[in-house]
Amino acid sequence: MFKYVGQANPGPITELKKQIEFATTPADKFYGIRYYDVASPVLESLYRLLPKEVHGDFYSSLLVINDNIPPHTDIVETAGLNCYVTSGGYQTNMYVNESGVKGTEYADHGNGHIYNKNLLTLAGTFTANPFDIYLINNKMIHEVYTDNVEKPKRQVLQLATKTYSFEEVSEMINIVDKNVVNVV
């Protein structure tokens, strides 16, 4: 589901080239989620959580979110170390699909689906503080939600993999020395 890992030391973040975006509503102004290539020393806090021999199996992105993102599974990522640079007060909600209802594909590649929240069972939730690090199971149904009508910006540095499962990444983190980040 998810696992609180610790807190990263703050640092500058440079947004580079846009990778992909998903709009939540058609409008003159963009609402939804955008993924960017990113450069930041904060990523070192995430890489230090993993054994060096697996670093090549992870890739970094900056996620910029300014709207509710409906319950979904990610397209290709299986697990992600997320550092919440600015949380915007959004909640991350994790769901189980006890009824077995099928989701709707939302991309022309990969295996991502969107689900009807009313047909799911809430399994867990968290609201991150700035620079909190969470390990997320990206193949579990999850949503990003705020009831704030202003839809503040949420920025997340993500170190993701499509090679290892949530459980495998969790095990890797347990093996690495915990003193590399400030664990609260």
The DSSP-derived string for 26-93 is: --SS--EEEEEEEE-TTHHHHHTTS-GGGGGGEEEEEEEE-S-EEEEE-SS-SEEEEEEEE-TT-EEE
φ, ψ for residue 167, nearest 5 deg: -65, -40
Q: Structural domain boundaries of the chain? A: 2-176
What parts of the chain have a pLDDT lower than 70?
A: 109-110, 176-184
Q: Which secondary-structure segment (H or E) carries 105?
A: strand 104-105
Q: What is the pTM of this model?
A: 0.92
According to the model, what pLDDT value does residue 179 have? Answer: 46
Asked if residues 66 and 52 have their Cβ atoms less than 8 Å apart, the reply is: no
* E strand or H helix that includes residue 170: helix 166-175
The per-residue pLDDT for 183 is: 41
Q: Which fold has domain 2-176?
A: Jelly Rolls (2.60.120)
Matching residue, tokens 């060096």:
52
- Condensed to tens digits (0 to 9), the pLDDT of residues 94-136 reads 999 999 999 998 877 668 899 999 999 999 999 999 999 999 9
Q: Give the integer Cα–Cα distance in Å for 94 and 144.
A: 9
Q: Residue 69's pLDDT is what?
A: 96
CA nearest neighbour of 159 among 127, 142, 134: 134
